[in-house]
Amino acid sequence: MNNAIEISTLEDKKLPGDLAMWFFILAELTVFAIFFISFAVTEQLNPEMFSQGKAQLHPVAGLINTLALITSSFFVALALNAIHQGKRKVSVSWLITAQAFAILYLIVKMWEYQSLFNVGISLETNTFFTLYFLITAFHFLHVILGMIILSYITFRTYKGAYRSNVSGFEAGASYWHMVDLLWIILFPLIYVI
Amino acid sequence: MSRKQIIISWLSLIVLTFISVLANDFIDNFQLFIIVVMLIVFIKGQQIVDTFMELKTAPTFWRLLLISYTLLIPLIISIIYLM
């Protein structure tokens, strides 16, 4: 009886999505880890420059973007929950809502870049802004890739492709949550500390 | 993951975000401020990994791998700022 329970527990422990996506996620997390550590080390070497640089950023924009990505991730999690229960139309609605919040992130980020460009700040201004633009723009590109994946999942869900196997849905959702996870670290590092 | 768990995680992520932003106004000690903000990063990361990524019910190796990322990165950042 106990053996049966143990075997059942082992079988229940399934990795969401597919293994290839998880290796891709690990690779992405590693690249960003190098960025995060580089940023912190460079800040310790140039405290005055980083303090002045951070003062020119827009913390409210960073906060709005944090809330937008967390909420977008929340709706993707709800969409996956709905598809597990066979609620296809509900899942599509949550996915579209998630993408609306992702668009909000893109708009706020572009506004922030534009406002910095308007006062003459660019990638070449100093080491702080070089790192700021490199890290945030690299993350921005990941958001766009995530949105492409979410759009594909939305289309497939609408077409009823995830009736028996939701592995593709889970893989795409995991990627989107990774984008959120990275911002959770990036936000305090650049805007709060 | 249940709908209720997802909602609780989302609310906790929102509340923790505001706490980390407001921490600067309430904590004068820089060392303590760094520890609080990075601890919040770890808790938020753990919520995303366990609830949103659904790794709470995944094989232990994968769950620990992702959880260790959310622990190690804030820990390394904390050490760099506290040195």
- Domains of chain A: residue spans and CATH: 66-193 (1.20.120.80)
CA distance A21 to chain B (A): 12
Work out the number of other CB atoms within 10 angstroms of the CB of residue A38. 13
Chain A residues with CB-CB distance to B24 below 8 A: 192
Tokens of A44: 């310790």
> Is residue B83 over pLDDT 60?
yes
Q: How confident is residue A5, by pLDDT bands cut at 50, 70 and 90?
A: very low
Contact assessment for residue A118 and residue A168, using Cβ atoms and an 8 Å cutoff: no
> Is residue A60 over pLDDT 90?
yes
CA distance B46 to chain A (A): 9
> Is residue A76 over pLDDT 80?
yes
Work out the number of other CB atoms within 10 angstroms of the CB of residue A64. 18
Tokens of B32: 């303590």
> Is residue A10 over pLDDT 60?
no
Tokens of A113: 């870049």
In this prediction, residue B24 carries a pLDDT of 87
Residue-wise pLDDT tens digits, A46-57? 999 999 999 999
In this prediction, residue A94 carries a pLDDT of 98
Residue A46's alpha-carbon distances to A37, A43, A178, B67, B83, in angstroms, are 14, 5, 30, 31, 14
In this prediction, residue B1 carries a pLDDT of 81
Residue-number span of the structural domain to which B34 is assigned: 3-82
Residue-wise pLDDT tens digits, A85-116? 999 999 999 999 999 999 999 999 999 999 99
Q: Is A1 exposed, middle or buried (0-12, 13-18, 19+ CB in 10 A)?
A: exposed
In this prediction, residue B64 carries a pLDDT of 96
Q: Which of A26, A37, A71 sits opposite B76 (nearest CB)?
A: A37
> Token pair 């993408």 is at which residue?
A99
* Average pLDDT for A181-185: 98
> Is residue A6 over pLDDT 60?
no
Residue-wise pLDDT tens digits, B12-58? 999 999 999 999 899 999 999 999 999 999 999 999 999 999 999 99
In this prediction, residue A12 carries a pLDDT of 67
Helix, strand or coil for residue A161?
Answer: coil
* Average pLDDT for A127-146: 98
Q: How many domains does chain B have?
A: 1
> Is residue A1 over pLDDT 70?
no
Gap between the Cα atoms of A56 and A34, Å rounded: 24
Contact assessment for residue A54 and residue A83, using Cβ atoms and an 8 Å cutoff: no
Q: Which amino acid is at A51?
A: S
> Is residue A136 over pLDDT 70?
yes
Q: How confident is residue A58, by pLDDT bands cut at 50, 70 and 90?
A: very high
User: B residues 7-46 near A, CB within 8 Å?
Assistant: 7, 9-10, 13-14, 17, 20-21, 23-24, 33-34, 37-38, 40-41, 44-45
Tokens of A97: 């809502």
Gap between the Cα atoms of A161 and B9, Å rounded: 28
A189 has a chain B CB within 8 A of its CB: yes
CA distance A145 to chain B (A): 18
